[in-house]
Chains A and B, each alone.
Chain A
Amino acid sequence: MPDTDTRDRQVQGLDALELQPERGRRGAGEVARRVWSASWPKLAAVAVVLLAWQAVVWSGWRSEWVFPGPDRVLPVLFREVSTAEFWEAVGVTMRRALSGFALALVVGVLVGLAVAQVRPLRVAIGSLITGLQTMPSIVWFPFAMLLYGISESAIMFVIILGAAPSIAGGLVSGIDYVAPSLLRAGQVMGLRGVQRYRLLIVPAALPMFVGGLKQGWAFAWRSLMAGELLVIINQQNSIGWALSQARQLNDAERLLSYVIIVLIVGILIDVFFTWADRSLRRRWGLAAA
């Protein structure tokens, strides 16, 4: 056998050849170019939508007080954004969204863990979870109002029913699809009980769980908007309240500006989940960097 030093060089040479050559750091110029190439199609799309909207208004399809163009809605939107009332409305709605989602998270995780672990439970309610996922959560509102009256609890109830099944489903499939080779490695290393969950099952299930969270958020947000329009809690400012007020006052500009706000919030949260998902995958080597 060659001496240690020669062997060391052989091993190191082989490793060096196998590894990807380091890529150079991106300069400021390249960062700017990447930002530009990622953002101009989006900006162009916004411009096209605004143009199409304006064109429909110009065509005179509906009178302008029912269907105002962006030239009238956008100034109202900017004026709204600078009022304290607006931020209060958004604040109330976001607080409801986040606390509802947090409750759904707790319920979803508990149910998901139970279903993943207890076989009879899975047989009993596994398909029920899938069924609930496909159910439009708005059908729960009459029942929720019967149970809780016109109150925030009614809205929370529906958010949980809307979001928890997706969160539970994501967790169950995450746990189900942990690679058998990793499970075997964990077994060989003596991972058991809580430690097995903490060091192996939970991190391994994370990417699918994040997928479930993303879907759960979408359902929670929809349920909340439906709830705020149906369960009008008097004098409690919120996005839903503002929308129905604007309709009653025939204030189309204000109505459309809140629709745009709902769209923007949805996009921002989606961007967050997409970022979380992608950075997770990158760390794990599941996606190209």
Chain B
Amino acid sequence: MRPMTTITDTPTRVSAVEVDAISKVFGEGAGTVTAIDGMSVSVGEHEFLSIVGASGCGKSTLLSLVAGLDRPTTGSVDTAGHKVAMMFQEAALFPWLTVGANIEVPMKVNGVPRARRRERVAELLELVRLTGFARKRPHELSGGMRQRVAMARALAQDADVLLMDEPFGALDAMTRDILHDELERIWQERRLTVLFVTHNVREAVRLGDRVVLLSSRPGRVIDEFPVEGERPRRIDSALIAGQAAVITDRLRQEVSRHA
């Protein structure tokens, strides 16, 4: 694997998300913090892009800019008319609603009629292998099951770009491995474009077509690694471990710069 030092668009690929030279500054006057400074990322249609960085690399800021929750100070974000959904480390399901009603919320926002909502809930629950759980409440489910409901809810927005902010960070290793397989399957079945932010380099390599490495304070793209290996991959394979080691070394080099 050859780390690429310059970031160029792959010309053959149409990009679904185009982040162009953005910076994001929080606060005013003496107390300003530059979270992101001159970051450009291009994500192809149906690409699975993993984004790795240490603390303070502006990963979460990047995702909220792509989601349109916030505006960049300079630069531009273009999602080319795609609908964007987002998932977090906590499932953030509404505890007063059943699983089915939770998945209906984004459809209510979009004005989907009731009968159609019911059909979609059944179909999405089947997709995340939770058929029969529509009437359960979130607190009756395990953490992994809640994240799958959150994924169904995100897909209920009819989004084809999925932003994921450390979605499996709070899960145990076995659940996480199985959810990697599930995410990979759903990404392929639904032809999604995924931006996946994580601290876990192996996870990034296991899932991504490409891994983008960010610097910290401020956040910039410092390196980019195309991932080799046929899918479906295994997180415990030698191929994944070898690629992860290279990225980890590069990440540690970046971290020690702040010592």
A13 to B153, CA, bound (A): 23
| A1 interface hit (Cβ, 8 Å) | yes
Interface check B145, CB cutoff 8 A? yes
B109 at the interface (CB under 8 A from A): yes
User: A14, B178: Cβ atoms under 8 Å?
Assistant: yes
Contact with B along A178-202 (1 / 0, CB 8 A): 0101101101111100010001100
Cβ proximity bits B53-78 to A, threshold 8 Å, 1 near / 0 not: 00000000000000101000000000
Contact of A14 among B86, B92, B139, B144 (CB under 8 A): B144
Q: How far is the CB of B89 from chain A (nearest CB, A)?
A: 9
**Interface check A30, CB cutoff 8 A:** no
Residue A206 at the chain B interface, CB threshold 8 Å: yes
| Interface 1/0 per residue, A1-24 and B, CB below 8 Å | 100000110111011001110000
Query: How far is it, in angstroms, between the C-alpha of A10 and the C-alpha of B129 when the chains are bound?
Result: 11
Of B86, B153, B181, which one neighbours A7 at CB under 8 angstroms? Answer: B181
Number of A-B contacts (CB under 8 A): 82
Q: Residues of A contacting B95 with CB < 8 Å?
A: 284-286
B88 touches A182 (CB 8 A): no
A34 within 8 A of B: no
Complex contact B232–A1 (CB within 8 A): yes
Q: Which of B92, B145, B181 contacts A15 (CB 8 A)?
A: B145
A185 to B137, CA, bound (A): 17
Minimum CB–CB distance for B172 against chain A, Å: 10
B85 CB–A CB distance under 8 Å: yes
- Residues of A near B142 (CB, < 8 A) are 15, 18-19
Q: Which residue of A lies closest to B231 (CB)?
A: A1
Q: Which residues of B contact A204 (CB under 8 A)?
A: 94, 96
Query: Which residues from 122 to 178 on chain B have a C-beta closer than 8 Å to any C-beta of chain A?
Result: 129-130, 137-145, 153, 157, 174-175, 178
**Does the CB pair B137–A285 fall under 8 Å?**
yes
B196-207 vs A, CB cutoff 8 Å, 1 = contact: the mask equals 000000000000
B residues near A, CB below 8 A? 67, 69, 85-86, 88, 90, 92-97, 105-106, 108-110, 129-130, 137-145, 153, 157, 174-175, 178, 181-182, 185, 232
Instruction: Give 18 A-B pairs besides A189-B157, A204-B96 with Cβ atoms closer than 8 angstroms.
Output: A12-B129, A15-B142, A19-B142, A20-B140, A184-B88, A185-B94, A189-B109, A190-B106, A191-B109, A195-B108, A195-B109, A199-B94, A199-B108, A199-B109, A200-B94, A203-B94, A206-B96, A284-B137
Interface residues of chain A, those whose CB is within 8 Å of chain B, are 1, 7-8, 10-12, 14-15, 18-20, 179, 181-182, 184-185, 187-191, 195, 199-200, 203-204, 206, 283-286
